[in-house]
Structure 1
């Protein structure tokens, strides 16, 4: 939201109070509060009719500094609030002198100037990383009498900003206006399904605005040398999160807002969907699965989209009896074929669903101020909304899902959750504006926790579309409704990179695109991209996504990349464990792994999958241009080597794309190619790619069965790799050098 007209003037009807200088400081053991008048004080008389801005500095965790800017503090507290894992046992140093007040936590400090104009520096090791300056803080009143609070933090020369949720526009957010407001807008607009009021800077810090509702960011778009963020009301709280590198920022941020859960091993396999509006029954489903089996295409999960239920009844969570007369038997038959089953749900209750009257009578649906049920006709006729602020409503809705789980369903695609009204009343009295984004978290948490109860911790997984900060705890998330074009493939990748920079550990997308039918080239290129993402699903809208519907080469391409992913499961499982334990995502923007490489700051058509694999999806019939950081990189399939730093343009057949191993990386390849859930260390091949002579690497491989990790020491001597099992178990293993050693 912009408040100024150029640099000097305010927009019509807008007035702003700004802290001019510091009048006094109240300090404690773990923080301090600054009182800053909004005008010049030359004598006692100037204190009359003089608004004061109160700014509190604290530290909720090591390396994190919290700042709360307030005006009038007499308002009633508003819910919901983000659940933050604050700690109070880490060292915090507070120093107040005649000239400055400083709070230090970990390696970061906030230093407030006590003389002259308003000025706050955030420092790391004595170096300023960003600042709040004379015109940064504002208490704004607009022409309608609404109140807002904003802060502006300085952007350094060459500083780039990322994140703010899953955003499909330019990966670098500089120059953009970004509104944190969940919307069902597809992947081709400025709107986003997953909004998080958190941004990551390549200067090695992050900023999290602690407000679950609408937050407006002007990233170098109002004042070009500053990032502004603003919220409605009388106060604003934000946390400045130290790195000093992007991965450490993400570790600290996810420690504060929640780490991604572990997901089951089978979820990393290939998912096949009925697609959305296609016609299907058990015979159709069986024909798809038979077709996959006959063509030797590994399949792990079958997904039933919306029309597993009767039309106009979404959601009643009842199998359409005309289309699926024997759901229990069908689910049993699918399980007998080694498949897991996912079904589509959303939190909307059509008026024709039997759940509507049940929920209305019990008070489980969101209401209008007059107590009537809120309804509209978008999506489903007369639909209402489950009120997840009501514990009884959560138990009611979960109970309906539990019946499906006990019937044989394994997981849920938790679609929608973005179009949440703000003119309603919530059971717990939550503020409607704050609930708009937060609803997605409550919805997905309810379903995920039910799955943990029924299937066990580590066995729960959803396929979620909507989210906000903290939603990374309830994976997996997919990219929403994209078109079936190369352009949409690129925008989907930008969305995934932005989501990864927002602390989400896993991400998927619709292979081939959702809207329309991809031509065979798009479909085959998207297969490679999809199978080299954390989770892989074939899904569309009005057309099936079985590969033989496109051409026979698509069958071969799908087989090739599915087998490649299955063989990479020891490596992917370790990357997934890092996402769970540390909050570092499986898919990583290049800048996260290479923050000191200036070129990496702007790369949005390639990524790192885990720490050691560079993936550059081909978004063209044949040609791809990509960047290779310093060192000798090796194609994991062909053994071709490229030496960076530098740009490369290559032609690739549909069965290939740049998948390059980092110089010196030791990547474990599994012995199984047709399923993801096997004992990954048994028969593992440890490939050392262009290692240095004398290199020693520790490789950790999680256990698919939940046992101890297998730990290997791999050494390279005389161009030969040798492995030694030092922990855990493995039936057999070997180490080889790919690409020759380096001296």
Structure 2
């Protein structure tokens, strides 16, 4: 009990949900601010048992003598770490205020630990006075630096200076706006040079959304951000105004715990995290690796949403293969339209996706039976042998014969 706990708060960290202070910047008086703490509870090093009772964030307006506090509640765990969170409600401070805060983290097996520091650095101490002397801080900005739009339980935020977008929605526990997806400013390649769409010069409301006017190296590009359906956010560039784009790239913050499933038929792996997926139709015989003849620019994320690049052309998904803290979607054409389909339950994501993309009809019974398939049948005798032994193989393995089944003949065999 003579050591402090291994606990931290780094506002710009990618944990536990892409940031430990949401949002990190662009905070106006009307912004609700989530503050997360992390602590190690198992594994090698200095694990400890953090207590929810007594865990708190202390905050004040710089210059005030007294500190206020809010309790921190258990939010979840990842790997060896547990996370707690508190919410600073909107309209607590005014534009121009500098808000200071520090965390108190009690343990059953370590000293009560106080966490303080900066946006990029977390310090821990057993002395509350040390934390009060060097607290975390942020400045409440004018609302003009941030525009937001609510659609049911989702909120999209556009940061005017950086061009970043965030989509916030409920987590699996139902906490409002607790799950935040951060999109960096889209980039556009023009005449061989890649340029960010930033800053946002103007933002105005349109039916069911926002229209954003970007500065692109002196030119003007217009995009619309709308909600075409429940739980579905659409982003589309609707006006290039003479800009000749060669390709567009969307980059999204991602944590190592995020996994990606989808892209149509895949032969290499179910989870595509750490891979580069090229969505183009290829019909390779034999070993296919990452090639597929049923490709789709769509995936499900374990963070409770789906991403759909609305394009029938070739595209490239770099799913943390190049950068450990983000994934990118490259559309090598002068267009950009994508949809984010929110859950947070993955079953809801699929329901909302198929509501606009289309749902398959119920196949006949034989589709659900066992299949015999091969890329290559060398002779009709090989096919007849496989069919004649089909029922026997089931019987030999103690499996009841299916009421229906099918055999797939590849293009290499036309007669049997």
More helix by percentage: 1
More strand by percentage: 2
Superposition TM-score tier, normalisation by shorter sequence: 0.3 to 0.5
TM-score between both structures, scaled by the size of structure 1? 0.27
TM-score between both structures, scaled by the size of structure 2? 0.46
